[in-house]
Structure 1
Amino acid sequence: MAIIANATVQTFPEAWSGEVTSGKHQLITDKPESFGGQDKGLAPYDFICSGLISCTMITLRMYAQHKEIDFGAFRVEADFNANKEGKEWIERRLSFEQELSDELKQKVLDICQKTPVTKTLLRSVEINTSII
């Protein structure tokens, strides 16, 4: 067994707020004002979405480098959704500045389903991916 990530959170005096440290990096976590926080930083589900889209971007860039493909600039977004019945899912969207062939679009979608964070989340949450 190997540790692949580590983070620590230290509370701030304000309710719900704290400093997350991972390695030499610091981030602020908080809840939105609508949930009683001060909205000083990312909420917990924002971190989930951030991890997913970061991993997606890195994996696609590694694939492009390996295959000598130039995707150009692109953007990855994610929304974490929940309904009243308790179902949770993530909508992930990719947009590319340059046009991709239909074949390359399908390859990108296939790769997105195989990123390490996607695989981890798929064990417990459905992830729908689209290119916009």
Structure 2
Amino acid sequence: MGIVATAKVHSLETPWQGEVSHGKHHYMTDKPASFGGQDGGPATYDFLIAGLISCTMITLRMYAKHKEIELGEFEVEAEFHANREGEEWIERRLHFKTAHEPTLKDKILAICQKTPVTKTLLRSVEIKTSLIE
């Protein structure tokens, strides 16, 4: 497999702000006001969990289509937590508008642990950085 995703951020004049781009998609990133930013866009960990929950939603919908299962309308939300001991974790919650059988609930939870972004986060990833002048 080759390149899975690309992104670029251009620093802006306002401290902490940048314009993120993915091809034709452009949006702002910033720090929250509580951290000295202007709150002009999502912060870095917001993007991280947005990728996780987006992947979760897409994977579940693909599974449902493949198995011809009607999941109905649902939401996925997540929070990134850190404590003073240096521990970090993500809490992910799924909210379905319709009730499902216990066996399907178990399958949904199992699929969530197998989404591509979940697997990447759980195993970590090497980051190679270079300076180009």
TM-score above 0.5: yes
* Structure 1 runs, 4 residues or longer, greater than 6 Å off: none
Secondary structure (helix, strand or coil) at the match of 2:15 reads coil
Query: Across the two proteins, how many residue pairs are aligned to each other?
Result: 124
Q: Distance in 2 between matches of 1:28 and 1:121?
A: 24
Q: 1:92 matched to which residue of 2?
A: 92
Alpha-carbon RMSD across the aligned residues, in angstroms, is: 0.7
Counterpart in 2 of 1:33?
33
| TM-score, normalised via structure 1 length | 0.92
Alpha-carbon distance in structure 1 between the residues aligned to 2:27 and 2:110: 31
**Highest relative contact order (Cα 8 Å, sep 6+), 1 or 2?**
1
Give the TM-score normalised by the residue count of structure 2. 0.91
Name structure 1 gaps, 5 residues minimum: 125-132
Structure label with greater radius of gyration: 2
Matched, 1:73 2:77: no
Identity across aligned pairs (percent)? 65
User: Map of 1:36-115 to 2, 5 A cutoff?
Assistant: 36-115=36-115
1:117 is matched with which residue?
A: 117
Q: Which has the higher strand share?
A: 1
Distance in 2, matches of 1:32 and 1:54, equals 22
Structure 2 gaps of 5+ residues are 125-133
